[in-house]
Amino acid sequence: MSKLRNRTRMRQMRQMTADRSAVICRICLIRVLVAALVLATAAGAQERGGGPENTGETARALDLIREAREALGGEEALRRMQSLSASGRLRRFVKYVTVKGPDKVEEKEKTLTSKVGFDYVAPDKFRKRVSGSTLNGYGYSYVEVVNGGRAWRNPPLPVASSHRDRRVIDVDDVERSFMRQAQGVRQQLTLYSLGWLLQAIPSLPLELSDAGEFRVEDRVARGVLVEGDEGFRVVLLLDRQTRLPLALAISYIEARREPVIVEVASFNRKYVSDTHARARRERAARSTRPQRREMLLRFEDHRPVAGVLLPHRVTTTLDGIVQEELVISEFEANRPPKPKDFEGEPGPKY
């Protein structure tokens, strides 16, 4: 009985890790391709012999950014903001499936709540803190940090093997994993730096070009195509009326996978084995081939903080369906920074 419980717990832990990694990597490792919104604009630019390097489109994009920064509060107010801290709660709306027996499958919905904190110190220090729980009820916490040219996640995500036998992990796998996680951290924090302060993270230089006008629900927006190293490509949407940042549009390739959780309590080994077999079939049936997904980060409820209008709500939709809502309860500007908050980079363990 003890062995059966241990095997069941190990399966739950592996599934918990996979679910958590899928959620985090879905946002962090943004293998951004071409958003559907951008396709026509980018193609048109290429036909005209231009692209992100086109002088006219770049100049128009820079003008749009200058107007937007003026709408936020102006260059002087942004310059005076030498540090910024924020805290709030993130609600994640999850649809999942529980398998309680070989013939008992239930579809469920659940709202998972996490505590989130952000810290920025000019010009090149950023930190994001997250603590919450998984669908299984297991708690987790992590931090993402950019400090100058360094970026890391602590604790690191599990290392992915490049071998056919996934149990085999070599030095190259570890180094590659840390490099990809650093890349994901820079891209993830760039989204907030762009959406809140309309500025880049120095370690991820960006190129801008005018992407024309788009409609976002009931608003008309001017688009700025933002491109950087490591495949970073998003469209920054600025409200045509207020000039404030309205949203970030992102597109990437990912297979659809609905979380499937096993909830079985039995001393019958065959019953437990058949239940896990049913869960594997459910995961296969509820997965699709990799396809283009469209994510929109909507910035709302702008209020003044030290003379700068900052969004107090960020809503994330995926293919038009609300996935997450981040509500900031407090912003604090120019609080004396703690240098140790931006240290603690974990090293690989061989």
At residue 167, what are phi and psi to the nearest 5 degrees? -75, -15
Which portions of the chain are predicted below pLDDT 70? 1-54, 165-168, 348-350
Neighbour-count burial of 154, counting CB atoms closer than 10 A to its CB (0-12 exposed, 13-18 middle, 19+ buried): middle
**Residue 231: which region, alpha, beta or left (left: phi > 0; alpha: psi -120 to 50)?**
left
**Which residue's structure tokens are 């296969």?**
284
Q: Which helix (H) or strand (E) holds 41?
A: helix 36-47
Rounded to an integer, what is the distance from CA 220 to the centroid of its chain?
25
**Which residue's structure tokens are 């024309």?**
212
For 157, the token pair is 């995500």
What's the rounded Cα separation, in Å, for the pair 19 and 63? 42
pLDDT of the residue at 121: 96
220 has which bridge partners? 215
246 has which bridge partners? none
pLDDT of the residue at 335: 92
pLDDT of the residue at 217: 84
Asked if 101 and 271 touch (Cβ cutoff 8 Å), the reply is yes
Long-range contacts of 56-62 (CB under 8 A, 24+ apart): 56/210, 57/209, 57/210, 58/207, 58/208, 58/209, 58/210, 60/210, 61/208, 61/209, 61/210, 61/224, 61/225, 62/208
Rounded to an integer, what is the distance from CA 342 to the centroid of its chain?
20
pLDDT of the residue at 163: 77
What's the rounded Cα separation, in Å, for the pair 206 and 191? 12
pLDDT of the residue at 168: 65
Q: What spatial distance separates the first Cα and last Cα of the chain, rounded to whole Å? A: 35
pLDDT of the residue at 218: 85
What's the rounded Cα separation, in Å, for the pair 349 and 347? 6
The one-character DSSP state at 274 is: H
pLDDT digits (tens, 9 = 90+) for 220-239: 999 999 999 878 999 999 99
For 126, the token pair is 């950023």
